[in-house]
């Protein structure tokens, strides 16, 4: 029992040391998520409560100051993060689902299925997403964060579908798939147990990219004014700050807080994404391999040096006596 | 050539899809240009009288009698003839309003593409060559950080620090209002000066793409033909460009075609924040005023842009990649 | 020889001097209209730049700050017949069009009859009000009205009566589509000196009739949004602005010692309940006077004025929500009744609710209706109108404190308006409307014929139908003397104060600011001569005559 824990702890530590980018990324993302989803532990104020004077600078009571309406910025950031992150996740899941269904089917089944699905993918891809989102959002009466998530999801899946299709195609033509076919494995089993496991890296990477994209696009759409001004999300915080000319009157904290939140989450996710890339493609791990090599070289040199010095030292000591 | 015709056929189909979406959307959801006009009037504290409404209704003449199919075909016809409707916000034909803004946006986006792709390609090649070095890891991390800052925030910071506070750059317009457009040195200089900050913002935000090129290059550099090139004794530089880069650039061209939509999206935000009179600014005003003919025209125009970019990319690929030529019989 | 040479020198020196003076007078820079790029269109009816009011002048300008006092413009005087059906207007003599032609009754007759043949330009609604126009002589016109109305002059010959030259427009078939790039008018600035998408300049009419005009040109820089405008205003680069400024002291007044502002009150902001809402619980509540009284008592108007409106505005709205310019029609007794309700008192609100039979039956903290139905409703406010959205939130907070379950929804502006057409809303946070006279104000906001019509700020905000009110309003329109009119307006004010039909909150402000480093004569709190904003029509022509360049 003890050894299992220590070996897994040891493995974990080594993983983090070998992959500093992943380590930092995971810490950032986990940090933001914990702050947001356990928000009541970190603040006393409700995000929508008017409890102070407008546009107060950061102080002991309100560590990130207050907004125009007298609301606590720190509370808004961490409660608002819940919705922003959820939107990213919902959009990400929606996109991944669509992309996987379309991409894997097209790549695996080929033929007419592939033609139809590819055509569909290309058409949706070619219609530019931001204008489409603007058109959709301006026609709808009221655009809540959930609706934004759906709109983003519905317009962004083609990219993922294309990548997944290409990957599926390349796996499909490998020997072990042919072997499984010959063995008589059912198509359904093959898709889930042979093809997909080999695509985990790319699926993971696509998912994370989509989440980053979704969170940023939601913030951008809300900043332009397409969101629901009464909800509390990072994008709406930026919108309200802009509407009340926060920067112009020197209330920098109102803009800085949601920006830092967005940036931290994005950086964290991007670093994780990058590490997935690196772990799965050793060619990209060049500098880490080099760094590790150099580190071990240095250790060797030090040991040799210590040995050499040790000999002389003991000789001298021995000699002295 | 069959390849080209296939692609062309696809593009025409895609355009039709966009037109269809544009046609059915307003008929499915609530939207009334007259109310939008009145909303603006109300917001500015103007007098709204029942008489104003009647006059507007007369001007816009909504008809509900002809069947849907007929309406669709008249709509399609007018689109193809260049009549994209009347903008309710600007009281001008949509084509004119969009055209005015498109000129400046194309200037901005065109310069951006030139600078950014040159930088990222060259940068990507060099960095891939130098992989494993200290410089590589610094660049990787910093480009990740810079590209993760929300575009909106980056643009706001640049605007407020350099244009508003320090006054090093102008705070809007495409050129000095006192000048008249002419091909004089003074005018061109003014245009460049006003374009500088938005351009810098856009280039900074796209620095993350260096990483894409780098990964591509690294993948290529492991290929056999590269080793073959070395074995043959060709100079490093030649291997890098003629063998490595030439292959790595193919997916870049494809990526470029796919990213055109995103570039215009980015330029929209930049134009709004820097008050640059491109098509993004126009769109923003149209959106706020719910000017549906304008918004729909924008969708069509953007689709056309993306399709054209794809077509150009296809032609380029045809020229650069001999495999495509021989595979078409 | 010598004398002629001297004369020549004298003339050239004089010319140089005047030229220097002309150069010295800067252009008056005005910020009042947003655009992404100016379009060269000076159509007098529809689609033209807002500055056409400096080209085509009205007959009379009614003061929008001072009880609609008339400033006679192209008309010298007017009078109504005894039966209130004929409006006689006497025109100013010696006025010329900017192309030299004489202005006379033919132009006025043309202006009032032309729109009937072209309904798409009839934004003033002339065809619905005027039966026929009679030319009495070169400088007198009689307007024969379709329906008798004591307040017709305010509606017909005010700023909407832009007089156009007959000799230019007679025979033009498609007036709405004319860009009218070189306009001909009687106004102060008719010469278009320069027109580009980023700026345009209108210069002095060489034949202008009013000697008080001291300016040479007005300049309109293009502004796309509030931020750009603020950028220019803060630096003192513009002279006359009509743009909303957040935190005006910090962002504007403190930046330059010549930056000044004055925000007089305009129309009243209010919350209205839809008496014909489909929401059953809400409907029952709205029909109870106690509920309506409680609603008014739960409004923290001070917070709204301080937070949403930055403390720029004032309140003290009467029960009918008359705009400040019409306060001379307020009634003392009605005001006294009303003052009991126009305050923030949650305890009193709760007491009213209890009195009306509203109790919390299920213990969720919110009351149910007397018949036991669930009470929850939504207040709609246009998305994007930030100060209103914030204040609607404050209103909802107050209601919830009093135990009423109210929420805010933010549809976008066109949908918000569309909801009025079908009476598809519970409550609306909206404006009070500005109309040409007190009678028109009552008619438009209270008369039942405007219920469920989607007319902005009209009776469709409340859908309150009262034959008694209708009767008072109609009689007031027919009352020939002011005393008779006041008898009826008092009845209207009392009806509203007793029945508490709506929830007036505070007044919108006129966002007027200026920089007096280059010009003087701007109106302000010490010199409140007329409506000061550089907004098209309203009173800016009057203001223009008082602005002089600094020497």
Q: What is the DSSP string of C194-255?
A: EEETTEEEEEE-TT-S-TT----EEEEE---SHHHHHHHHHTT--SEE----TTHHHHTGGG
Q: Check if C383 contacts B (Cβ < 8 Å).
A: no
Does residue B111 share a domain with residue B52? no
Nearest residue in chain B measured CA to CA from A129: B261
| Tokens 């060619």 -> residue | A283
Is domain C25-42+187-264+510-551 given the CATH code 3.40.190.10 in the classification? yes
Burial C493-513, CB ≥16 within 10 A → b, else e: bbbbbeebbbbbbbbbbbbbb
Residues A68/A71/A73/A78 CA torsion (nearest 10 deg): -140
Phi, psi of C529 (to 5 degrees): -70, -40
On chain B, the residues whose CB falls within 8 A of the CB of C436 are 47
Residues 135-164 of B with CB under 8 A from A: 136-137, 140-141, 144-145, 147-153, 156, 160, 164
In angstroms, the CA B258 to CA B298 distance is 18
Q: Check if C120 contacts B (Cβ < 8 Å).
A: yes
Nearest residue in chain B measured CA to CA from C119: B55
Share of chain B above pLDDT 70, in %: 73
Binary contact (C454, B35; C-beta < 8 A):
yes
Does residue B191 share a domain with residue B308? yes
Does residue B210 share a domain with residue B277? yes
Q: Which helix (H) or strand (E) covers residue C273, if one does?
A: strand C265-273
Written as six digits, the tokens of C493 are 């004010």
Residue to mutate among A56, A68, A140, A227, with most C CBs inside 10 A, is A68
Query: CA nearest B93: which of B270, B291, B322, B321?
Result: B291
- Tell which wins on pLDDT, B256 or A265: A265
Shortest Cα distance from A155 to chain B (angstroms)? Answer: 12
Q: Check if B321 contacts A (Cβ < 8 Å).
A: no
Nearest residue in chain A measured CA to CA from B281: A224
Binary contact (B58, C123; C-beta < 8 A):
no
pLDDT for the residue numbered C258:
93
pLDDT for the residue numbered A106:
84
Binary contact (A229, C250; C-beta < 8 A):
no
Share of chain B above pLDDT 90, in %: 0
pLDDT for the residue numbered C12:
46
* Domain chopping of chain C, boundaries: 25-42+187-264+510-551, 56-178, 267-509
Residue B120 lies in domain = 102-328
CATH classification (class only), C267-509 = alpha beta
Q: Check if C121 contacts B (Cβ < 8 Å).
A: yes
Q: For residue B164, is pLDDT > 80?
A: no
Q: Check if C409 contacts A (Cβ < 8 Å).
A: yes
In angstroms, the CA C181 to CA C162 distance is 17
On chain C, the residues whose CB falls within 8 A of the CB of A244 are 246-247, 386
C485-506 per-position pLDDT tens digit: 999 999 999 999 999 999 999 9
Q: Check if B156 contacts C (Cβ < 8 Å).
A: no
Nearest residue in chain B measured CA to CA from A132: B299
Burial C35-69, CB ≥16 within 10 A → b, else e: bbbbbebbbbbbbbbbbbbbbbbbbbbbbbbeebe
pLDDT for the residue numbered A316:
44
Residues C143/C148/C149/C152 CA torsion (nearest 10 deg): -10
Q: Which helix (H) or strand (E) covers residue C269, if one does?
A: strand C265-273
Q: Check if A208 contacts B (Cβ < 8 Å).
A: no
Q: Check if C42 contacts B (Cβ < 8 Å).
A: no
Q: Specify burial of residue B41 (Cβ count, 10 A radius: 0-12, 13-18, 19+).
A: middle
For the complex shown, is ipTM > 0.90?
A: no
pLDDT for the residue numbered C8:
46
Residue C425 has what DSSP assignment? -
Q: For residue B23, is pLDDT > 80?
A: no
Nearest residue in chain B measured CA to CA from C126: B51
| Number of domains composing chain B | 2
pLDDT for the residue numbered A318:
42
On chain C, the residues whose CB falls within 8 A of the CB of B35 are 413-414, 417-418, 454
Residue C524 has what DSSP assignment? B
Longest dimension (CA), chain A: 95
pLDDT for the residue numbered B225:
67
DSSP states along A268-293: HHHHHHHHHHHHH-GGGGHHHHHHHH
On chain C, the residues whose CB falls within 8 A of the CB of B274 are none
The hierarchical CATH code for the domain C56-178 is 3.90.76.10
Does residue B107 share a domain with residue B78? no
Binary contact (C384, A50; C-beta < 8 A):
no
* Domain chopping of chain A, boundaries: 2-280, 283-321
Q: List, for chain A, all residue ranges whose pLDDT scores fall below the cut of 50.
A: 313-321
pLDDT for the residue numbered C220:
94
Does residue B117 share a domain with residue B76? no
pLDDT for the residue numbered B42:
67
Protein fold of A2-280: MetI-like fold (1.10.3720)
Nearest residue in chain C measured CA to CA from B37: C414
Residue B88 lies in a domain: no
Does residue B121 share a domain with residue B44? no
pLDDT for the residue numbered B208:
64
Nearest residue in chain B measured CA to CA from C226: B275
Task: Identify the three-state secondary structure at position C10.
Answer: helix
Q: Could you report how far apart the first and last alpha carbons of chain A are, in Å?
A: 50
Q: Which of C226, C383, C397 sits opposite A229 (nearest CB)?
A: C383
Q: List, for chain C, all residue ranges whose pLDDT scores fall below the cut of 70.
A: 1-23
Residue B91 lies in a domain: no
């Amino acid at each position: 029992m003890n050894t299992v824990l220590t070996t897994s702890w040891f493995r974990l530590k080594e993983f983090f040391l070998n992959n500093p980018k992943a380590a930092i990324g995971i810490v950032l993302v986990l940090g933001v998520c914990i702050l947001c989803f356990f928000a009541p532990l970190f603040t006393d104020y409700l995000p929508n409560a008017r409890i102070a004077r407008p546009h107060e600078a950061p102080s002991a009571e309100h560590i990130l100051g207050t907004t125009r309406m007298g609301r606590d910025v720190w509370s808004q950031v961490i409660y608002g993060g819940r919705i922003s992150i959820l939107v990213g996740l919902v959009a990400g899941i929606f996109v991944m689902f669509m992309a996987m269904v379309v991409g894997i089917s097209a790549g695996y089944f080929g033929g007419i299925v592939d033609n139809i699905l590819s055509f569909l993918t290309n058409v949706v891809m070619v219609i530019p997403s931001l204008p489409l989102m603007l058109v959709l959002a301006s026609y709808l009466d009221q655009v809540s964060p959930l609706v934004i998530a759906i709109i983003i999801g519905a317009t962004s899946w083609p990219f993922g579908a294309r990548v997944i299709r290409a990957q599926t195609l390349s796996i499909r033509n490998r020997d072990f798939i042919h072997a499984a076919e010959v063995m008589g494995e059912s198509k359904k089993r093959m898709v889930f147990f042979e093809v997909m496991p080999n695509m985990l890296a790319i699926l993971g990477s696509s998912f994370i990219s989509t989440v980053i994209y979704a969170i940023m696009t939601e913030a951008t759409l809300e900043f332009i004014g397409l969101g629901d001004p009464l909800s509390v999300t990072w994008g709406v915080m930026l919108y309200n700050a802009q509407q009340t000319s926060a920067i112009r009157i020197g209330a920098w904290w109102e803009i800085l807080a949601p920006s830092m939140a967005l940036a931290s989450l994005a950086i964290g996710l991007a670093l994780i994404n990058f590490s997935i890339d690196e772990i799965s493609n050793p060619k990209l791990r060049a500098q880490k391999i080099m760094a590790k090599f150099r580190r071990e070289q240095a250790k060797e040199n030090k040991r040799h040096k210590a040995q050499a010095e040790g000999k002389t030292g003991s000789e001298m000591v021995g000699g002295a006596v | 050539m069959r390849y080209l015709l296939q692609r062309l056929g696809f593009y025409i189909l895609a355009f039709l899809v966009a037109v269809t979406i544009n046609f059915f959307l307003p008929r499915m959801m609530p939207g009334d240009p007259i109310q939008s006009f009145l909303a603006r009037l109300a917001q500015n504290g103007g007098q709204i009288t029942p008489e104003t409404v009647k006059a507007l209704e007369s001007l816009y003449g909504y008809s509900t009698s002809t069947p849907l199919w007929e309406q669709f075909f008249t709509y399609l016809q007018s689109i193809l003839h260049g009549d994209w409707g009347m903008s309710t916000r600007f009281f001008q034909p949509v084509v004119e309003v969009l055209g005015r803004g498109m000129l400046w946006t194309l200037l901005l986006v065109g310069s951006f593409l030139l600078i950014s792709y040159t930088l990222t390609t060259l940068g990507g090649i060099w960095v891939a060559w130098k992989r494993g070095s200290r410089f590589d890891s610094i660049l990787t991390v910093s480009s990740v950080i810079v590209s993760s800052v929300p575009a909106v925030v980056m643009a706001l910071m640049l605007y407020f620090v350099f244009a508003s506070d320090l006054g090093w750059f102008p705070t809007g317009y495409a050129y000095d209002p006192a000048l008249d457009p002419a091909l004089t040195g003074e005018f061109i200089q003014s245009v460049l000066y006003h374009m500088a900050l938005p351009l810098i913002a856009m280039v900074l935000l796209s620095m993350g793409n260096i990483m894409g090129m780098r990964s591509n290059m690294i993948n290529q550099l492991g290929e056999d033909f590269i080793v073959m090139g070395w074995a043959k004794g060709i100079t490093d530089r030649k291997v890098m460009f003629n063998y490595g880069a030439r292959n790595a650039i193919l997916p870049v061209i494809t990526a470029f075609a796919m990213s055109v939509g995103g570039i215009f999206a980015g330029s929209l935000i930049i134009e709004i924040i820097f008050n640059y009179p491109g098509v993004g600014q126009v769109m923003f005003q149209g959106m706020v005023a719910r000017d549906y003919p304008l918004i729909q025209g924008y969708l069509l125009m953007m689709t056309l842009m993306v399709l054209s970019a794809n077509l150009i990319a296809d032609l380029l690929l045809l020229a650069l990649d001999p495999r495509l030529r021989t595979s078409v019989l | 020889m010598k004398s002629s040479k001297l004369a020549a020198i004298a003339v050239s020196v004089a010319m140089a001097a005047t030229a220097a003076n002309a150069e010295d007078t800067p252009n008056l820079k005005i910020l009042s209209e947003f655009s992404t790029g100016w379009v060269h269109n000076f159509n007098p009816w529809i689609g033209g730049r807002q500055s056409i009011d400096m080209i085509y002048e009205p007959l009379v300008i009614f003061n929008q700050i001072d009880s609609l006092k008339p400033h006679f413009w192209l008309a010298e005087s007017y009078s109504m017949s005894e039966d209130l059906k004929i409006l006689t207007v006497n025109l100013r003599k010696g006025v010329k069009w900017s192309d030299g032609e004489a202005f006379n009754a033919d132009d006025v007759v043309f202006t009032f009859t032309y729109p009937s043949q072209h309904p798409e330009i009839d934004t003033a609604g002339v065809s619905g009000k005027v039966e026929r126009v009679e030319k009495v002589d070169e400088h007198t016109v009689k307007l024969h009205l379709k329906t008798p109305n004591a307040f017709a002059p305010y509606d017909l010959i005010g700023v909407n009566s832009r007089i156009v030259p007959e000799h230019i427009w007679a025979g033009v078939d498609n007036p709405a589509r004319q860009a009218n790039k070189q306009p001909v008018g009687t106004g102060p600035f008719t010469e278009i000196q320069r027109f580009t998408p980023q700026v345009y300049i209108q210069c002095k009419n060489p034949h202008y009739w009013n000697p008080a005009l001291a300016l040479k040109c007005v300049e309109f820089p293009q502004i796309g949004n509030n931020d750009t405008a603020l950028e220019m205003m803060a630096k003192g680069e513009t002279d006359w602005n009509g743009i909303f400024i957040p935190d005006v002291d910090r962002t504007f007044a403190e930046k330059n010692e010549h930056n000044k502002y004055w925000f007089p009150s305009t129309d009243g902001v209010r919350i209205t309940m839809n008496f014909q809402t489909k929401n059953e619980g809400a409907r029952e509540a709205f029909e109870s006077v106690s509920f309506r009284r409680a609603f008014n008592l739960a409004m923290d108007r001070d917070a709204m004025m301080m937070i949403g409106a930055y403390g720029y505005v004032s309140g003290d709205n009467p029960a009918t929500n008359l705009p400040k310019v019409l306060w001379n029609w307020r009634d003392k007794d009605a005001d006294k009744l009303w003052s009991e309700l126009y305050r923030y008192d949650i305890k009193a609100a709760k007491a009213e609710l209890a009195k009306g039979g509203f109790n919390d039956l299920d213990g969720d903290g919110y009351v149910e209706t007397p018949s036991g139905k669930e009470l929850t409703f939504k207040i709609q406010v246009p998305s994007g109108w930030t100060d209103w959205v914030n204040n609607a939130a404050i209103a909802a907070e107050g209601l919830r404190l009093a135990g009423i379950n109210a929420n805010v929804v933010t549809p976008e502006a066109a949908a918000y308006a569309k909801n009025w057409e079908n009476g598809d809303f519970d409550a609306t946070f909206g404006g009070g409307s500005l109309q040409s006279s007190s009678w028109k104000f009552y008619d438009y906001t209270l008369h039942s014929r405007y219920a469920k019509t989607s007319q902005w700020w009209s009776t469709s905000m409340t859908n309150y139908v009262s034959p008694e009110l209708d009767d008072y309003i109609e009689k007031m329109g027919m009352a020939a003397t002011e005393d008779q009119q006041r008898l009826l307006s008092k009845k209207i004010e009392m009806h509203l104060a007793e029945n508490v039909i709506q929830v007036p909150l505070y007044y919108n402000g006129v966002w007027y600011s200026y920089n007096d480093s280059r010009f003087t004569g701007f109106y302000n709190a010490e010199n409140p001569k007329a409506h000061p904003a550089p907004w098209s029509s309203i009173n800016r022509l009057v203001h223009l005559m008082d602005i002089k360049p600094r020497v």
